[in-house]
Structure 1
Amino acid sequence: MPPARRLRPVWADASIDPAARPVQLTLDQLGTPLSDVTFVVVDLETTGGTPADCAITEIGAVKVRGGEVLGEFQTLVDPGGPVPPFIQVLTGITTTMLIGAPPIERVLPSFLEFSRGAVLVAHNAPFDVGFLKAAAARTGHAWPGNQVVDTVRLARRVVTRDEAPNHKLSTLAALFGTTVTPNHRALSDAQATVDVLHALLSRLAPLGVTHLEDLATATDPVPEDVRRKRTLADGLPDCPGVYLFRGPGEEVLYVGTSTTSLRQRVRSYFTSAEKRSRMVEMVRVAHRVDPVPCATPLEARVRELRLIAAHSPRYNRRSRFPERMPWVRLTSEPYPRLSVVREVKDEDGATYIGPFSSSSSAQLAVDALHEAFPIRQCTRRLPLLAAAGASACVLAGMGKCGAPCTGHQDASGYATVVERVRHAMLADARPVVEAHADRISSLVAQERFEEAATVRDRLGGFLRGAARAQRFAPLASNAELVAARRSDDGGWELVLVRYGRLAGTARVDRRTDPLPAIDTLRATGERVEPAVAPATAAHPEETDLILAWLDKPGVRLVAVDMPWACPVRSAESLGDPAAAVATVVRPRLATAEDGRVVQLVPASDGADGERELDVAEARPVTMDLDDARVIPLRIRPPRTA
């Protein structure tokens, strides 16, 4: 063991006259002074960045208390394989150097004994401690659970960007003038980290961080005015539900949800767990929290969406304007065309897909259909008979339109094209995928990868919109759907859906017959007016939540009054654009992210036992809960190799 070094940091200075100003400490100030804490500062060198597939090559550690070095620990470690070349260049540790070094099975017990009862310190602690925990798990040693301090997080608290451009160990070592220069060797880096730790604690001391207990909140301090408002959570129920933060004028500032405990969720806003600056600002303004208890987690999520849409709180960032979600419409004119609209109307012959998250994503779907079919792109309404002297646009010469505006394509011929477009929107998206696969293959062959990625994104926009409409349509047509799912306590969660809107929920325990509760739920559920399919009578995100709940394992459909089916070759069954190209066109080249080219090979039909639900299988059904079968609610895309 090397001789002890005395560093005397500011926080360990005991030169204050004890008789100068006697002070009675409060209970909050009692704890372990940092000068009495034993720290073990550790640094590791490894063969890579993740403990799952990399190993430790060197451990260095320094034990220090009150500014005095008590001991040092250093050893090379045999990683059980070669050291990658770039790691050898970075650390100077070669594979040859590790020949004869002890394996981690022999080294780890010694290190655990060296650090017993101490507070572990590391620069970027999740990395070093993560490797140590993984090594303990592999070698069968119980992790002792030492308190961990990360000097990176401490530095972010007290070192500004004006002082240092970043918080790397080498940067901080230069800033504080450490006695040892870090050089990517474990012991040297640990020794440098000791000096950095002392400098950081010296800066934290004037901020009130003088005891071990203070370090727990030193990196995530909770402002005192925020902490004082923790009483707003008092009295809230311990159940799922929605909470509303209200301001001084009773305005709703923020709407949130908890699927387990309202009280615990609201309490988290007054602790270091809340790191969003806008939420801290909101808590400072709020003066009351109103709870809305809910029977089930699904009801809590749905009520949150509805309250956000109703109040449009300024601190909520999502789901505030459902009316802005656009649709793609195939019009019902004599010569139909595609357009982006905000509302689904009851028009004979009109077809819709969506809703989309934005107008730009809806336009991508329109462009995809124009790429696949020669449907007109002009926006004016055309008469059934072409006007004399009408001239065609350039798209006709390119083969992108049959030019019904000039009479070159009659109504019946154009109707055939329109029917193909409608079929792709509602039932079979493969023609659109095939057209885009051809375009992608051509662009990739020319190494025009950015354009190929644009075509891929256009196809993805169409598939997402068509899949959403195809999933919404059965739910929008069902005047009443009842489903049930076993809860964790053995009871039942019961859900009533009318025209895609949650009309009621209930929960029964495992000792209660659910059928009378279902009858009560159907009799007392919300009356819902039908919407125009595929639009439902609810916020689109509410319908998404319901569909996701219905798709959970173990959900049982108790009663439906309309056939529940989706197209055999639905857009959703094709998956994302890359999977769609691989499934429909055997095999093709498609672009991946960053312009890389990947070979996509389609999976065989019926992979993993998946089956397609044909329309002929869907029937109105009523069944007993215990005997109910699970009806597939969607077709999962086949896997691609």
Structure 2
Amino acid sequence: MTSPARAAAGDSAAPSPSPIRGVQHSFDDLGTLLRDVTFCVVDLETTGNPPGEGGITEIGAVKVRAGEVVAEFQTLVNPSEPIPSFIAVLTGISDRMVASSPRIESVLPAFLEFAHGCVMVAHNAPFDMGFLKHESLVHGYDWPDFTVVDTALLARRVITPDEAPNCKLGTLAKLFRTTTTPNHRALSDARATVDVLHGLFERVGSLGVQTLEDLQTYSSRVAPAVRAKRHLAESLPHAAGVYLFADDRGEVLYIGKSKDLRTRVRSYFTASETRNRIGEMVGIATTVRGIECGTPLEAEVRELRLIAEHKPRYNRKSKFPERQHWLKVTVEPFPRLSLVKQVRDDTAEYLGPFSSRKTAERAMAALHEAFPIRQCTARMSRTPRLSPCVLAEMGRCVAPCDGRISMDSYGDFVTGLRAALTGDPTPVVEALDRRIDLLSADERFEDAAVHRDRLSAFVRSSARMQRMASVTACAEICAARRTDDGGWELHVIRRGRLAAAGFSPRGTDPRPHLEMLRASAETVLPGIGPVAAASPEEIELILRWLELPGVRLVEMDGTWTCPVGGAGRHVNRLENAHTDVHQHPGERRRHLRPLGPARAG
């Protein structure tokens, strides 16, 4: 059981967490052993056409477990269509033989009952499974989500060209000396496939494939040196957490998260991992360290913090949360917008953070479209005596530089700008809408697209900041969510930072567990700006969890709210807006229609 009181770790100030060792009681704990799996080996004979165009003429199946035959199934099927002569010669099944046989809709229930709970096996499985699944759906039978093993595919991964020229069933039957010779009759071919399957098991077993999970991901494309590293996952638990790959010098190469640490890490040593970059990382790695977490949210947060701390070379995202861009309304007699990389304690208003400088510049351009404040960078006194800039001559700036506007009148524009940053962005939306409408009417679609991008950058960043500021303003939020097994996920969130996470088992009172979490939770002091205590990505993870169905707010110190008229109400309309300037002119005009006022209902 996860400890009910556990502070969320992974901070740079904390020492590196020690490895958490999973207890492996036996080899069986690694997965479903092949000897414990019941396989249903099936073969079909058909009229020769694909599903939907041809019919099944015979079904043969053999149920095997631990190398022993458990049961067999065989029946001819009336395909409701003539059997071509060349198919009759090949299979020996004629129209006369199937005339009195049951139709497929009568056979399927018995076959599905025979195969219930089994792993399906077929030689060239897509063919057989395609027919069975198609007929089931056509006749209204639910097709179970069978695990399927294709002996033809497995053979192509195991058998070398020196051993066999191809991987046809007849060729493999000779190679493995099957007790039954395949003859294009369903049951005989299924019996031969059973012997081929066991022969392939012997081959892959010597390479360490002992479980169904190993068999599903086995591939000869995986280098033996990589496959040999699967033991690195054996000390990890089947639990949610974070894993860290490291090289022989202890340098962290890659960090990830999973709901099942052992299963996820084992997948890196199989054919399911196809990324070249990660394949290179696995080749270098010599150790894998696991950190078990009480909840999936804690695992997500720990991953972000550890990536930011170690900056692993094979991780591409979240390595530099400190690289942020903000728009600042400067504190001076005639304020302006300034692009900065840090929030300071200077009573200024800020918008952000932006993930890139380019996005921040687009949002700044949108604000300048709505509010004609100055864009020059010179410091101005209360009584400036400077020459007007080009923008002033164009009417794009109210020109405080030459004294044509008073400080109080200029302040009205700045007040509106600040309100748009932190509250209602409607003035910006309406200004950009009008601009886009005029440009579209003049068929200047490329320019209209530029303005739509600016509007999008502003609205999205404003909505994001308002959402984050709403939760970081709360000194503490204690929340719980029911788990699938009847327990409770418990989280203590302080100023937008995950301070503690834990789990209350089914049948126990979660309140004492939550109180223990609060007592042991990380102390989080107030800071400067909307993302002072945690990275924007962490805050967004927490917000997504808080907004999940079933989350209950247990305790709250503060007010968690977003403005009703805030930027969030404009985001959905932007999601549906298009700025593809490469369409036909008639289509462009339709897609570049400006955003109108929000409608209720």
**TM-score range relative to shorter protein:** 0.5 to 0.7
Alignment of 1:2-81 (within 5 A): 58-59=53-54
Per the alignment, residue 266 of structure 1 pairs with: 265
439, 445, 456: which is aligned to 2:441? 445
C-alpha displacement of 1:136: 3.0
Query: TM-score, normalising length from structure 2?
Result: 0.67
Q: One-letter code of the match for 2:552?
A: R
- Distance of 1:75 and 1:277 partners within structure 2: 50
More displaced, 452-461 or 128-137?
128-137
Q: One-letter code of the match for 2:441?
A: A
Answering whether residue 315 of structure 2 is matched by residue 327 of structure 1, we say no
Q: One-letter code of the match for 1:362?
A: A
Q: Is the Cα–Cα contact under 8 Å of residues 483 and 496 in structure 1 kept in the other structure?
A: yes
C-alpha displacement of 1:526: 0.7
Per the alignment, residue 524 of structure 1 pairs with: 520
The 3-state SS of whatever aligns with 1:324 is coil
Per the alignment, residue 71 of structure 2 pairs with: none
| CA-based RMSD | 4.5
The 3-state SS of whatever aligns with 2:288 is strand
C-alpha displacement of 1:138: 4.0
Per the alignment, residue 136 of structure 2 pairs with: 136
- Distance of 1:518 and 1:152 partners within structure 2: 52
Measured against aligned partners, the alpha-carbon deviations of 1:108-157 in whole angstroms (never above 9, x if no partner) come to: 999999xx9984649xx69x977974563242246586957699999999
C-alpha displacement of 1:542: 0.7
Q: One-letter code of the match for 2:540?
A: D
Per the alignment, residue 483 of structure 2 pairs with: 487
The 3-state SS of whatever aligns with 1:363 is helix
Q: Is the Cα–Cα contact under 8 Å of residues 492 and 507 in structure 1 kept in the other structure?
A: yes
- Distance of 1:152 and 1:376 partners within structure 2: 68
Per the alignment, residue 375 of structure 1 pairs with: 373
Question: Which gives a bigger RCO, structure 1 or 2 (Cα 8 Å, sep 6+)?
Answer: 2
Q: One-letter code of the match for 1:526?
A: E
Q: Is the Cα–Cα contact under 8 Å of residues 243 and 256 in structure 1 kept in the other structure?
A: yes
CA 1:230–1:156 in structure 2 vs 1: closer, same or farther (change >3 Å)?
A: closer
- Taking only the aligned residue pairs, the percentage that are identical comes to 46
The 3-state SS of whatever aligns with 2:353 is coil
- Distance of 2:47 and 2:594 partners within structure 1: 46
- Distance of 2:573 and 2:154 partners within structure 1: 41
Per the alignment, residue 425 of structure 1 pairs with: 421
- Distance of 1:333 and 1:150 partners within structure 2: 76
498, 505, 508: which is aligned to 2:494? 498
CA 1:395–1:593 in structure 2 vs 1: closer, same or farther (change >3 Å)?
A: closer
Per the alignment, residue 315 of structure 1 pairs with: 314
C-alpha displacement of 1:62: 13
Measured against aligned partners, the alpha-carbon deviations of 1:324-373 in whole angstroms (never above 9, x if no partner) come to: 1212212112211112211111112x111211111111111111111222
- Distance of 1:340 and 1:37 partners within structure 2: 67
Q: Is the Cα–Cα contact under 8 Å of residues 326 and 352 in structure 2 kept in the other structure?
A: yes
Per the alignment, residue 202 of structure 1 pairs with: none
- Distance of 1:352 and 1:138 partners within structure 2: 60
Per the alignment, residue 223 of structure 1 pairs with: 223
Alignment of 1:321-470 (within 5 A): 321-348=320-347, 350-387=348-385, 390-470=386-466
Per the alignment, residue 626 of structure 1 pairs with: none
CA 1:74–1:578 in structure 2 vs 1: closer, same or farther (change >3 Å)?
A: farther
The 3-state SS of whatever aligns with 1:322 is coil
Answering whether residue 510 of structure 2 is matched by residue 514 of structure 1, we say yes
Q: Is the Cα–Cα contact under 8 Å of residues 108 and 136 in structure 2 kept in the other structure?
A: no
Q: One-letter code of the match for 1:281?
A: E
CA 1:351–1:603 in structure 2 vs 1: closer, same or farther (change >3 Å)?
A: closer
Measured against aligned partners, the alpha-carbon deviations of 1:297-324 in whole angstroms (never above 9, x if no partner) come to: 1111111111111111111111110111
- Distance of 1:356 and 1:504 partners within structure 2: 28
Q: One-letter code of the match for 1:341?
A: V
Q: Is the Cα–Cα contact under 8 Å of residues 41 and 121 in structure 1 kept in the other structure?
A: no
Q: One-letter code of the match for 2:283?
A: R
C-alpha displacement of 1:398: 2.2
Per the alignment, residue 85 of structure 2 pairs with: none
Q: Is the Cα–Cα contact under 8 Å of residues 369 and 431 in structure 2 kept in the other structure?
A: yes
Q: Is the Cα–Cα contact under 8 Å of residues 477 and 555 in structure 2 kept in the other structure?
A: yes
Alignment of 1:544-623 (within 5 A): 544-576=540-572, 578=574, 591=579, 595=583, 596=587, 597-598=590-591, 605-607=599-601
Q: One-letter code of the match for 1:355?
A: P
Q: One-letter code of the match for 1:278?
A: R
Per the alignment, residue 8 of structure 1 pairs with: none
- Distance of 2:254 and 2:541 partners within structure 1: 20
C-alpha displacement of 1:550: 0.8
Q: Is the Cα–Cα contact under 8 Å of residues 429 and 595 in structure 2 kept in the other structure?
A: no
CA 1:426–1:519 in structure 2 vs 1: closer, same or farther (change >3 Å)?
A: same
Q: Is the Cα–Cα contact under 8 Å of residues 433 and 595 in structure 2 kept in the other structure?
A: no
Per the alignment, residue 246 of structure 1 pairs with: 246
- Distance of 2:504 and 2:129 partners within structure 1: 45
- Distance of 2:568 and 2:366 partners within structure 1: 16
Q: One-letter code of the match for 1:411?
A: M
The 3-state SS of whatever aligns with 1:270 is coil
- Distance of 2:335 and 2:569 partners within structure 1: 27
C-alpha displacement of 1:451: 2.8
C-alpha displacement of 1:535: 2.2
Q: One-letter code of the match for 2:496?
A: G
Q: Is the Cα–Cα contact under 8 Å of residues 573 and 595 in structure 2 kept in the other structure?
A: no
Q: Is the Cα–Cα contact under 8 Å of residues 570 and 598 in structure 2 kept in the other structure?
A: no
Measured against aligned partners, the alpha-carbon deviations of 1:192-217 in whole angstroms (never above 9, x if no partner) come to: xxxxxxxxxxxxx9xx99xxx99966
Per the alignment, residue 295 of structure 2 pairs with: 296
Per the alignment, residue 65 of structure 2 pairs with: none
Q: Is the Cα–Cα contact under 8 Å of residues 460 and 577 in structure 1 kept in the other structure?
A: no
The 3-state SS of whatever aligns with 1:256 is strand
Query: TM-score, normalising length from structure 1?
Result: 0.63
> Which runs of no fewer than 5 residues in structure 2 stay unpaired?
1-40, 59-77, 83-102, 160-199, 205-211
More displaced, 592-601 or 546-555?
592-601
The 3-state SS of whatever aligns with 2:268 is helix
C-alpha displacement of 1:442: 2.2
CA 1:477–1:147 in structure 2 vs 1: closer, same or farther (change >3 Å)?
A: closer
The 3-state SS of whatever aligns with 2:553 is strand
The 3-state SS of whatever aligns with 1:471 is helix
Q: Is the Cα–Cα contact under 8 Å of residues 46 and 54 in structure 2 kept in the other structure?
A: no
Per the alignment, residue 278 of structure 1 pairs with: 277
Per the alignment, residue 542 of structure 1 pairs with: 538
Per the alignment, residue 14 of structure 1 pairs with: none
Q: Is the Cα–Cα contact under 8 Å of residues 282 and 315 in structure 1 kept in the other structure?
A: yes
Q: Is the Cα–Cα contact under 8 Å of residues 472 and 543 in structure 1 kept in the other structure?
A: yes
The 3-state SS of whatever aligns with 1:300 is helix
C-alpha displacement of 1:465: 0.9
Q: One-letter code of the match for 2:414?
A: V
- Distance of 2:599 and 2:442 partners within structure 1: 32
CA 1:138–1:425 in structure 2 vs 1: closer, same or farther (change >3 Å)?
A: farther
- Distance of 2:400 and 2:226 partners within structure 1: 67
CA 1:40–1:135 in structure 2 vs 1: closer, same or farther (change >3 Å)?
A: closer
> Which runs of no fewer than 5 residues in structure 1 stay unpaired?
1-35, 46-55, 64-72, 78-105, 159-204, 582-589, 608-641
- Distance of 1:307 and 1:555 partners within structure 2: 26
Q: Is the Cα–Cα contact under 8 Å of residues 58 and 75 in structure 1 kept in the other structure?
A: no
Q: One-letter code of the match for 2:223?
A: P
The 3-state SS of whatever aligns with 1:567 is coil
Per the alignment, residue 635 of structure 1 pairs with: none
- Distance of 2:136 and 2:301 partners within structure 1: 44
C-alpha displacement of 1:453: 2.4
Alignment of 1:109-124 (within 5 A): 119=122, 121=124
Per the alignment, residue 471 of structure 1 pairs with: 467
Q: Is the Cα–Cα contact under 8 Å of residues 333 and 407 in structure 2 kept in the other structure?
A: yes
CA 1:146–1:480 in structure 2 vs 1: closer, same or farther (change >3 Å)?
A: closer
